[in-house]
C-alpha cells in the first residue's frame, strides 16, 4: 500500500427530481441502472474507482437509503457511512475525510458523485494520478471537464492564465504553513482562478469559445488532512465535529457522539465551504479532462446516453416494420413490448405493459406503476418545475 | 301508433382499431362512453331515436357482445337480435327488417350506426320525418351529411341534378310494380345519382366545392317490405333466409333455423347489396342534413369532440399553473390526476395513475391497464396500421 493511500469517497445523496418518476425520494437516481448496463450508477461509480483504491471506498449516504446502498455494495469492499440527516455535502465529505485520515494517515481522498457517468475510465485513472501528484503539493485538486457545449446547467472552473498563475504563486506561497502549496509543474494540474456560478447562455457561449473555463463536475482529490485543516480554518466547529464523530465510530461512544454532534454541523456545500474560499487564495488546482463525462441530469441527457454506442446491453432498439425502418428510432429500457410507427422516442418501461407510439418525435415516455410521464426531450430541464408543483404524497 | 310504425334499427358491430387501446375486440367502440357524457355511444344512439320510435328499437349485435349490449340497454325497451357470427351489415339489417315487417306490417325502419355522434337531435328527428315521407313513396332514403371538410375517409352520396332527376324518373318509374317510387316533391328528399367510394384528396376538394356530394354516414330509412323485396330481387337466398329466421324467432324452431340458415347468408355490406344497385336504378333518395354528425373515427376526431363546447360533464380541463395557464391546453377523460407544463394534449386514463405531460403538443395519451398509447393527433389515421401489425393476443 502507498504511504499516502488513495481513498475514494462517494457522497450518495440527492433525489434528482429531473428524472422523476424514475427517481423518487425513496429510490434516488444513484440507486438506478439508467443505462441498461446491469449496474446502478452508484455501482458503476465504485466499479470505476475500485481498481485504483488503496483502502476501502467510503460511501456516505442518508439513513433512508443506507439499507439499499449496503445491498448494492455487497461484495465491493466499500464501507457505508450513514448521515443521520441530510446536511449538504461538506459535513458528509468532512466525515469521510476524518475517517480516512484517522485510519490511513496521510490518505488522499478522491470524491466523486454517485450518479454520474464516465465513459473513458483509463482517462479518469490518469487524471486522478495527476491530481494525486498535485494534491501531494497541498492543493485541493478538481478535475475540470472540457466543455463540449455551452451548457448553462453547470458551474464552471476558471483556469488561471499564465500571469495569474505567477502572481498568485508569489502572493500566497507559504501563507498556510506546512501545508503550503507547492509546484504544479509536471503534475498535469494547473492553478484555478475562480469557481463560476451557472452562466446564462451568452456567457456559456463565451466560456466555450474562450477555452479557459471547464465544467465543474464536483470531482476533487485532496489530502484528507489538508481538507480538514482548511476546513478548520473556515468552519472550526464543523471540522472538529467531523473529527470527533470519526474518532467515535466503532466505539461505545459512536451512537452518542453522532446523535450529539451531527445535528450541529453546518449545512453547507463543499463548493461554498471550501472550494471557493481556497480558489480565492490560489490553493485550488485543476486537471483538465476529457472523460466522456455526463451527469445524466435530465431525460434529454439520458436519451443521449441510450442512443450512444456504449449504451448497456439491456437497451433495446425498436425495429420499424419492413419498408419504413428509417422512420422508427426508438430506444427502450425496460421489459415490456414496444411498437412504433414513424416515431423517434425513448421509452422507460417498468410495468411490462405494451407501449405503442405513433408519429411522435423527440419525446421520452416513462411508464411506472403509479406515474406516467410524457416529456419533450427539449423541455427536459422544465420537469423539475412540474415535480415541484406536485402534491407531496404521490411522488 | 302510426299505421306504418317507425322502428329504429341499430347494427352494433365493428371493433374500431383506430381507437385502440380504448376499443378492443371484446369491448368495441359502441360500448364505450368516449365523450364523458355518462352514456356509451350505443346508449346515446338509442337515446336519440327513442323519442320517435313507434316500436321497440332493434339492436343487432354479435354473440360476443350480446350480454354487454343487453346490460347497457336495460330499461330502454330496445330488443337485441344476436348474430351468431359476423356476416357484414346486410344480413344483420335484413334480419331486423324481417322482424319489423313481420311484427309491424308496413313498418318503416331507420338504420343508424351504433357508434357515431349527432349533436343536433331535433335536426335528426326532422330529417327522419322527411325521410319517412320519401320512404312511403317506396324509396331507400339516406341521410346525407353536408360536408364541412374535404374528407377522404368517407364515401360520398352524389345528388342527381335537375336533368338527372327527370330522366331517371321517366326511365324507371313503374319498373318494380307496387313498390314503384313515387313523387319526392314536398318530402325534403331528392334523388341520388350514385354512391361514390372514398375519394382522394383532390376529388374530395372538388366534392366540397361543388356542393353536389354529401357524406355517406350509413343512415337510411326505408319500408321494411321494400328493403326485403329489393333484396329478394338482388340476393334471393339472403332475403328468404332472413325472413325464415325472423319467422322462427320465439318459436321452438328458432335455434334450429338460426343454426341452419345464418351461416348461409351472404357476407355483404348493405352498400354493395342494395344501396348501389338501387341508386343505379333511381330508387334511392337523400335528405341533405346538418346534424353535427361525427363518426369519431380516430383519436383526432375524438380529441376534437373533447375540446368542443358540448363535451360531456366527465371531461376535465387541466389547469395551467398561475402565470402560464395559456400554455396548458389539456382535456382529460378518466379519473387519475393529470399535471401539465406547456402541453397541448388529450388524455384517456383508465388506470388512476398520475399522468404528467411536459412540452408536448397535439398528442393523445391513452393509458390502460395493459397498453399505453402515445399518438400524434395528425397521425391518428395511421393507428390502424400499427394495430394490424400487433400480435393477436395483447390487443
Give the CA distances from residue A349 to residues A25, A207, A316, A335, in Å, rounded to whole numbers and listed in that order.
Answer: 19, 38, 11, 7
Interface ipTM above 0.95? no
Tell me, what DSSP letter sits at residue A245? H
Q: Please give, rounded to a whole number of angstroms, the shortest distance from the CA of B39 to a CA of chain A.
A: 27
Assess whether pLDDT exceeds 80 at residue B348.
yes
Q: Give CATH superfamily name and number for A6-294.
A: Spore Coat Polysaccharide Biosynthesis Protein SpsA; Chain A (3.90.550.10)
Pairwise CA distance, residues B333 & B353, whole Å: 13
Residue predicted with more confidence, B205 or A178: B205
- What is the reported pLDDT for B3? 63
For each of chain A's 395 residues, which pLDDT tens digit applies? 446 899 999 999 876 688 999 999 889 999 999 999 999 999 999 999 999 999 999 999 999 999 999 999 998 999 999 999 989 999 999 999 999 999 999 999 999 999 999 999 999 999 999 999 999 999 999 999 999 999 998 999 999 975 344 444 444 444 443 345 678 888 889 999 999 999 999 999 999 999 999 999 999 999 999 999 999 999 999 999 999 999 999 999 999 999 999 999 999 999 999 999 999 999 999 999 999 999 999 999 999 999 988 788 889 998 776 556 558 899 999 888 999 999 999 999 988 899 999 999 999 999 999 999 999 999 998 998 889 888 765 44
Q: By percentage, how much of chain B surpasses pLDDT 70? A: 91
Of A380, A226, A390, nearest to A303 by C-alpha is: A380
- Interfacial residues of A (vs B; Cβ cutoff 8 Å): 21, 321, 337, 339-342, 345, 353-361, 363, 365, 367, 369-376, 378-380, 382-383, 385-386, 389-390, 394
Do the Cβ atoms of A372 and B356 come within 8 Å? yes
DSSP percent split of chain A into helix, strand, coil, nearest 5: 40, 25, 35
| A-B Cβ pairs (cutoff 8 Å, strict) | 126
Do the Cβ atoms of B372 and A390 come within 8 Å? no
Q: Please give, rounded to a whole number of angstroms, the shortest distance from the CA of B27 to a CA of chain A.
A: 18
- What is the reported pLDDT for B325? 53
Pairwise CA distance, residues B274 & B279, whole Å: 8
Of B184-193, B227-236, B254-263, B278-287, the range with the lowest mean pLDDT is: B184-193
Element (H, E) at B228: helix B224-234
**Reduced to 3 states, what is the DSSP secondary structure of residue B126?**
helix
In this prediction, residue B217 has a pLDDT band, given cuts at 50, 70 and 90, of very high
Do the Cβ atoms of A376 and B360 come within 8 Å? yes
Do the Cβ atoms of A371 and B386 come within 8 Å? no
Pairing between β-strand A213-223 and β-strand A108-111 as defined by DSSP bridges? antiparallel
Question: Looking at residues B204-231, what average pLDDT do you find?
Answer: 96
Residue-wise pLDDT tens digits, B275-311? 999 999 999 999 999 999 999 999 999 999 999 887 8
For residues A278-287, b (16+ Cβ closer than 10 Å) or e, as one string?
bbeebbbbbb
Tell me, what DSSP letter sits at residue B238? H
B-chain residues near A357 (CB < 8 A)? 373-375
B224-234 and B89-103 helices, crossing angle to 10°:
130
Pairwise CA distance, residues A17 & A27, whole Å: 11
Give the CA distances from residue A145 to residues A39, B68, B307, in Å, rounded to whole numbers and listed in that order.
Answer: 24, 64, 49
- What is the reported pLDDT for A363? 97
Of A187, A96, A183, A142, nearest to A291 by C-alpha is: A142
- What is the reported pLDDT for A25? 87
Which of A17, A24, A346, A372 would best serve as a mutation to test chain B binding (most B beta carbons within 10 A)?
Answer: A372
Do the Cβ atoms of A369 and B353 come within 8 Å? yes
Q: What is chain B's mean pLDDT, rounded?
A: 90
Question: Looking at residues B352-378, what average pLDDT do you find?
Answer: 95
Of A205, A200, A219, nearest to A288 by C-alpha is: A219
- What is the reported pLDDT for A168? 45
Residue-wise pLDDT tens digits, B34-87? 999 999 999 999 999 999 999 999 999 999 999 999 999 998 999 999 999 989
Map out the domains of chain B as residue ranges: 6-294, 307-388
- What is the reported pLDDT for A15? 66
- What is the reported pLDDT for B16? 67
Residue of A nearest to B382 (CA): A358
Pairwise CA distance, residues B227 & B266, whole Å: 16
- What is the reported pLDDT for A209? 95
Judge contact between A371 and A328, C-beta under 8 A. no
Number of H helices, E strands in chain B: 13, 18
- What is the reported pLDDT for B170? 44
Give the CA distances from residue B241 to residues B98, B158, B228, in Å, rounded to whole numbers and listed in that order.
Answer: 10, 32, 11
Judge contact between B112 and B8, C-beta under 8 A. yes
- Which residues are within 8 A (CB) of A146 and not within 5 positions of it... i.e. 6 or more apart? A214, A215, A288, A289, A290
pTM of the model: 0.85
- Which residues are within 8 A (CB) of A112 and not within 5 positions of it... i.e. 6 or more apart? A8, A9, A10, A45, A49, A218, A219
Of B193, B287, B182, B277, nearest to B231 by C-alpha is: B277
- Which residues are within 8 A (CB) of B315 and not within 5 positions of it... i.e. 6 or more apart? B35, B36, B306, B331, B332, B333
Assess whether pLDDT exceeds 80 at residue B206.
yes
**Reduced to 3 states, what is the DSSP secondary structure of residue A314?**
coil
Amino acid at each position: 500500500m502507498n504511504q499516502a493511500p488513495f481513498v475514494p469517497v462517494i457522497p450518495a445523496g440527492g433525489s434528482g427530481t429531473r428524472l422523476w418518476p424514475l427517481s423518487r425520494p425513496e429510490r434516488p437516481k444513484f440507486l438506478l441502472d439508467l443505462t441498461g448496463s446491469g449496474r446502478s450508477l452508484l455501482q458503476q461509480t465504485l466499479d470505476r474507482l475500485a481498481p485504483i483504491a488503496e483502502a476501502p471506498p467510503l460511501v456516505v449516504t442518508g439513513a433512508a437509503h443506507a439499507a439499499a446502498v449496503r445491498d448494492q455494495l455487497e461484495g465491493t469492499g466499500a464501507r457505508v457511512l450513514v448521515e443521520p440527516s441530510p446536511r449538504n455535502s461538506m459535513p458528509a465529505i468532512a466525515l469521510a475525510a476524518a475517517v480516512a485520515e484517522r485510519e490511513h494517515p496521510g490518505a488522499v481522498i478522491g470524491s466523486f458523485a454517485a450518479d454520474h457517468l464516465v465513459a473513458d475510465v483509463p482517462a479518469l485513472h490518469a487524471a486522478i494520478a495527476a491530481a494525486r501528484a498535485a494534491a501531494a503539493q497541498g492543493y485541493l485538486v478538481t478535475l475540470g471537464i472540457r466543455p463540449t457545449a455551452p451548457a448553462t446547467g453547470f458551474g464552471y472552473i476558471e483556469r488561471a492564465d499564465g500571469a495569474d498563475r505567477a502572481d498568485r504563486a508569489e502572493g500566497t506561497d507559504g501563507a498556510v504553513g506546512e501545508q503550503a502549496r507547492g509546484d504544479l509543474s509536471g503534475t498535469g494540474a494547473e492553478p484555478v482562478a475562480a469557481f463560476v456560478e451557472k452562466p446564462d447562455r451568452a456567457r456559456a457561449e463565451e466560456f466555450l469559445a474562450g477555452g479557459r473555463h471547464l465544467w465543474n463536475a464536483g470531482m476533487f482529490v485532496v489530502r484528507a488532512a489538508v481538507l480538514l485543516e482548511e476546513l478548520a480554518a473556515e468552519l472550526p466547529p464543523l471540522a472538529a465535529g467531523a473529527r470527533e464523530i470519526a474518532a467515535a465510530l466503532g466505539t461505545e461512544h459512536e451512537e452518542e457522539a453522532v446523535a450529539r454532534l451531527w445535528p450541529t454541523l453546518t449545512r453547507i456545500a463543499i463548493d461554498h465551504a471550501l472550494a471557493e474560499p481556497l480558489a480565492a487564495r490560489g490553493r485550488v488546482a485543476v486537471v483538465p479532462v476529457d472523460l466522456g463525462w455526463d451527469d445524466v441530469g435530465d431525460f434529454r441527457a439520458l436519451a443521449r446516453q441510450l442512443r450512444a454506442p456504449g449504451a448497456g446491453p439491456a437497451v433495446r432498439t425498436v425495429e420499424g416494420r419492413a419498408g419504413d425502418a428509417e422512420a422508427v428510432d426508438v430506444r427502450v429500457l425496460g421489459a415490456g413490448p414496444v411498437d412504433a410507427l414513424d416515431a423517434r422516442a425513448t421509452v422507460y418501461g417498468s410495468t411490462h405493459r405494451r407501449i405503442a407510439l405513433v408519429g411522435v418525435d423527440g419525446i421520452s415516455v416513462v411508464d411506472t406503476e403509479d406515474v406516467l410521464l410524457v416529456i419533450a426531450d427539449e423541455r427536459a430541464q422544465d420537469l423539475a418545475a412540474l415535480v415541484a408543483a406536485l402534491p407531496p404524497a404521490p411522488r
